[in-house]
């Protein structure tokens, strides 16, 4: 049985600022009004990151707008949220994060079936010259595709 996947939020800046080496899928602990707000696409993960405290993974800096009809049940939009991962995955991440230059960055939030999932990327920061190389490669690729499309007409 295939599950439908609907993207709710993406972090395109993460691919610009980091080399994403591995990706992990994890669940997120949410309150009802946050789920309703997320389903409406009112989330921002641009400046968020994940950290590991006492063997638990926490997502910090993710903004979920308050649900319009939630009144007293709405929570703080920037509160820390617990991510749900297997213990062996967390141990593996702890070992990798201790290496210099690695961090956990959310790359997308999506709806998988009825559950909201987050894709975490194990990221290593890019230097300015790396960013320029990436931009140059992407523009060259776009130019090649444009010329091929023009040639095939």
Residue 115 and residue 132: Cα distance in Å, rounded?
Answer: 38
Q: pLDDT digits over 14-61, tens only?
A: 888 888 888 999 999 888 888 888 888 888 888 888 988 888 999 998
In 3-state terms the chain splits into helix, strand, coil percentages (rounded to 5) of 35, 35, 30
Residue with tokens 């789920």: 35
Neighbouring C-beta atoms of residue 134, cutoff 10 Å = 14
Q: Is the distance from CB of 40 to CB of 132 less than 8 angstroms?
A: no
Residue 117 and residue 125: Cα distance in Å, rounded?
Answer: 24
Work out the burial of residue 147: count CB atoms within 10 Å of its CB; fewer than 13 is exposed, 13-18 middle, 19 or more buried: exposed
Q: pLDDT digits over 87-107, tens only?
A: 999 888 888 888 777 888 999
Q: How far is CA 102 from the centre of its chain?
A: 15
pLDDT attached to residue 107: 92
Nearest to 28 by CA among 106, 140, 125: 106
Q: How far is CA 49 from the centre of its chain?
A: 8
- Quote the pTM value: 0.77
């Amino acid at each position: 049985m295939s599950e439908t996947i609907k993207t709710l939020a993406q972090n395109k800046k993460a691919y610009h600022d980091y080399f994403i080496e591995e990706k992990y899928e994890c669940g997120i602990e949410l309150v009802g009004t946050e789920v309703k707000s997320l389903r409406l696409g009112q989330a921002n993960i641009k400046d968020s990151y994940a950290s590991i405290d006492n063997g638990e993974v926490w997502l910090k800096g993710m903004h979920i707008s308050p649900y319009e009809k939630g009144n007293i049940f709405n929570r703080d939009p920037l509160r820390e949220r617990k991510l749900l991962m297997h213990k062996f995955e967390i141990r593996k991440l702890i070992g990798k994060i201790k290496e210099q230059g690695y961090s956990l960055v959310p790359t997308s939030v999506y709806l998988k079936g009825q559950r909201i999932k987050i894709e975490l990327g194990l990221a290593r920061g890019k230097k300015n010259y790396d960013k320029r190389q990436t931009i140059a490669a992407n523009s060259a690729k776009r130019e090649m595709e444009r010329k091929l499309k023009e040639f095939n007409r």
